[in-house]
Structure 1
Amino acid sequence: MAGWHVRDFSPDDLEAIVRLDAEGASADPSGVFRLSDVVAALQGRHPTVVAVADGRLVGAAVGRVEGDRAWILRISLHPSWRNLGMGSAMLAALERRLQAAGATTMAAVLPEGETGSAALHHSGFRPHPGLTYFEKAEAVTAQDSAVLLSLGGVVPPTGLWEKLAGMAEEKGLIERRLVLPLAHPEMAAEHGVEPPQAVVLFGPPGTGKSTFAKAVASRLGWPFVELFPSRLALEDGLATGLSRRFDQVAQLEHVLVFIDEVEEVASVRSESDPVSVGVVNELLKSIVRFRDRDGRLLICATNNVATLDPAFLRHGRFDYVLPVGPPDSEARGALWDSYLARAGAEADTAVLAEASEGFTPADIAQAARTVAQSVFERTLASGHRAHPATGDYLQTIRRTRPTVTTEMALEFADQTSRYGRT
């Protein structure tokens, strides 16, 4: 077999390295570093060496420098040139170049038995058995980021779902109906379950419908886009604004779209108001287009589901119509527990839960903030750390007017029986 030599990478070598990568892989091709990572490093002129025999590229070692650490992204060898010391020679040459670029530590992560493992051993690289490689794929690409920016969308921080306190019944229902089928689509398909694509949340104001929507996006790791009817109305009319926004949303791979107070764009149509008819019709058409692709969820929220156009709630447009009501005693206790822990307070949760009957999560949050502010001011005035007690909370609860009146609670119960689809 003819001799070979090692030299620096040249841009003209790119195509040959890509071809060699496919020929030389000996194990699971789903390694840590993808071919796109390798190509990006080559195009970025990170240190790379190749082995050439008889004018043909038969080996490559690709590196990437990140501060004082360097990664060996790929060691590729043509099958007929293995076990001849070529891998070790390329590594030695690559090491010198990585050191010259400022790297003091060099690392490589390869599938078990992949090409280059022996060369790494022979070159003094020490394996770390027992390590587990963790990976998280981001739901947003560079193109998605540009679309999100134009839509005013965000990627919610992780952990919002876990931070939801109280409302255990509603949380459990939303977890089972929405989150699990969307998080495990293949398993859902095996059981004949179609992941939901559009749902309505209804209930009195302040019960946490918006919070649930954003928490679902956080749990799924999807971008969150909220559409505001009042803003869309400023864009050549509400119908046109809706159509344009849904066209933009269609460019995203995954997305949760949220429309709060959806009755503004989906109230019962009136023949005497052609504008409202056009808006509802456009929204219905947009929902049909939205449902054409997987990996997306539309959540609409309303305080009064009875005001929505009957065609809007029809089967085939919305998979579920879920009630989100005021928290029960157990849920109120869980909410108070979370705020008491945050304030370092020792108060009787059961007493507070009973005293705050009819309070929404927003009401409880407001009462807890009021007490926290009062105790904070007390600490500053006295110079000694003050701690809130049960009496502080009870006094504030008595001064707080519940959002949900008796009439609203009765209306919600009636709407749950008439419109709820769980």
Structure 2
Amino acid sequence: MTPTGRIHVRDFHDDDLDGIVRLWEDADAHGSSHVYSLAEVIASCQADHAVVAVLDDELVGAAVGRAAHAQGWIVFFHVLERSGDERRSDEGRGDDGGAGGGLLDALERRMAPLGLGKLSVLVADDGAGFDSLTANGFETRHPLRYLERRMPVQRRELDLLKSVGGRVLPRHLWRNVSGMRHEKELLEERLVTPLSRPEMADRFGVVPPRAVMLFGPPGTGKTTFAKAVASRLDWPFVELFPSRMADTPGGLAAALRQTFEQVAELEHAVVFIDEVEEIASRRRGDPPSPTQGVTNELLKLVAEFRERDGRLLICATNFIRALDAAFLRHGRFDYVIPIGLPDAEARVAIWGRYIPAVVAGTIDVDKLAAASEGLTPADIEYAARRASQEALARALRAEAASVSEVSGDLRTEHYLSALAATRATVSAEAAREFLEDIATIARL
């Protein structure tokens, strides 16, 4: 039977033991060489840290770990092949990373408060120094390969990251940005590679960026791209909300400075300010505008922020023309990058997220992508959800008896009708102004 539900990653329960044994046996049947015994795995499930993946009430995967001397070890990790590892997991950082990614990320989160510096795993393979080990009394069990990945936030930084409202994002967000190939290539070349591979950047004389500005119409995905960059770098993501900070003692300018000073204590960070025009609008002389002092402070903070390695400031605005001229001068922002409406490839991918799997093969997605040109991702999501809700309502009125009857009443024309009732967020005038801004303001 083909799985139909959504994979759910949760903590291990005692009644999952039978499922753990079945996973162990399945791994053994597929030729896996176990480093730890079944008894050790069961003991760690009960005494240490374990998470499981469940699909249609069946346990289809597990990750079990233990900690020793500031290092975490994965003692068992397996996912059933029939679960479809490409399926989305509803577990936070594992979202859209498959059951395996969801399990590993969930296990890492549960073990992070222990102050681990590394999370490691031993898997079967030929290992170096085999002859030397056996000659010195080591018994041959299995060839091993050692793997590890660095924890993105160290223990000393956890409280600090929490205090500034930061978090570690799923590692798979970059892959989830479908389409928009030109924008992704630009961000990969200008931001990700120089920051993640500084030795390569230095070889070509490229200075890693410190601050970038994203601009474009509302709803085009600027926040999504900022998060994707942080995910790609595997750096903590700190989003600042000026409207919330304005209520703190000392006012917005003081709150901004305090937050930037705290972020400076992190080893790495991507700091994101959306709708930055609210605190960096044009200064108009006498009498000064209410935000002029905040704009002045932010300009100073950007200059100071640029002096430290391992950090990236990303600002986003829907109204690039409203920004103070000093804010966009060379030396403050390395790049001013346009983020426009989704292209055809991206629209196809967006539709694919919201069309139910049971009817996906009957829907003309290319036709929907063509009909939704000029819409934002949020517009497309609204149209898709509207079509689904109306199909459900029709089925309920007809007293449909099964899920297949509900989903069968969802066709391409229903999505087209929903599109016809969807108002575009970006007007033709706004789209035209965006193209003008690309020609006169963008800096790539």
TM-score, length-normalised on structure 2? 0.67
Within a 5 Å distance, the mapping from 1:350-361 to structure 2 comes to 350-361=366-377
What secondary structure, in the 3-state scheme, does the structure 1 residue paired with 2:149 have? coil
Alignment partner for residue 364 of structure 2, among 348, 352, 364?
348
Q: Is the 8 A contact 1:110 1:117 kept in 2?
A: no
Amino acid in the other structure paired with 1:412: F
What secondary structure, in the 3-state scheme, does the structure 2 residue paired with 1:317 have? coil
What is the CA-CA distance between 1:420 and the residue it aligns to? 0.6
- Aligned residue number for residue 168 of structure 2: 155
Amino acid in the other structure paired with 1:172: E
Length, aligned pairs only = 321
Alignment partner for residue 286 of structure 1, among 301, 312, 320?
301
Q: Map Cα deviations across residues 16-43 of structure 1 (whole Å, 9 max, x no partner).
A: xxxxxxxxxxxxxxxxxxxxxxxxxxxx
Say yes or no: does 1:391 pair with 2:424. no
- Aligned residue number for residue 272 of structure 2: 258
Cα distance in 1 for residues equivalent to 2:273 and 2:209 = 16
Alignment partner for residue 370 of structure 1, among 378, 386, 391?
386
Cα distance in 2 for residues equivalent to 1:299 and 1:373 = 37
Alignment partner for residue 268 of structure 1, among 282, 303, 307?
282
Cα distance in 1 for residues equivalent to 2:386 and 2:358 = 12
- Aligned residue number for residue 246 of structure 1: 260
What secondary structure, in the 3-state scheme, does the structure 1 residue paired with 2:301 have? helix
Cα RMSD of the aligned pairs, angstroms, is 2.9
Give identity over the alignment, percent: 51
Alignment partner for residue 400 of structure 2, among 372, 375, 382?
382
- Structure 1 gap segments, 5+ residues each: 1-62, 70-105
Amino acid in the other structure paired with 2:401: G
Within a 5 Å distance, the mapping from 1:13-412 to structure 2 comes to 112-113=128-129, 118=133, 122-126=136-140, 128-129=142-143, 131-235=144-248, 236-271=250-285, 272-273=287-288, 275-340=290-355, 342=357, 344-345=359-360, 346-378=362-394, 381-384=399-402, 385=404, 386-387=407-408, 388-412=410-434
What secondary structure, in the 3-state scheme, does the structure 1 residue paired with 2:163 have? helix
Deviates more, 1:375-384 or 1:290-299: 375-384
What secondary structure, in the 3-state scheme, does the structure 2 residue paired with 1:382 have? coil
Cα distance in 2 for residues equivalent to 1:199 and 1:333 = 29
What secondary structure, in the 3-state scheme, does the structure 2 residue paired with 1:205 have? coil
Q: Map Cα deviations across residues 106-136 of structure 1 (whole Å, 9 max, x no partner).
A: 99x998459x954x6544432533x432211
What secondary structure, in the 3-state scheme, does the structure 2 residue paired with 1:410 have? helix
**Residue 337 to residue 151, structure 1, CA distance change in 2 (3 Å):** same
- Aligned residue number for residue 15 of structure 1: none
Cα distance in 1 for residues equivalent to 2:126 and 2:346 = 49
Amino acid in the other structure paired with 2:142: H
What secondary structure, in the 3-state scheme, does the structure 2 residue paired with 1:327 have? coil
Q: Map Cα deviations across residues 115-173 of structure 1 (whole Å, 9 max, x no partner).
A: x954x6544432533x4322111121112111111011110011011011232222222
Q: Map Cα deviations across residues 196-248 of structure 1 (whole Å, 9 max, x no partner).
A: 11100000110000011111111111100000010111122111111111001
Deviates more, 1:351-360 or 1:317-326: 351-360
- Aligned residue number for residue 101 of structure 2: none
Q: Is the 8 A contact 1:270 1:276 kept in 2?
A: no
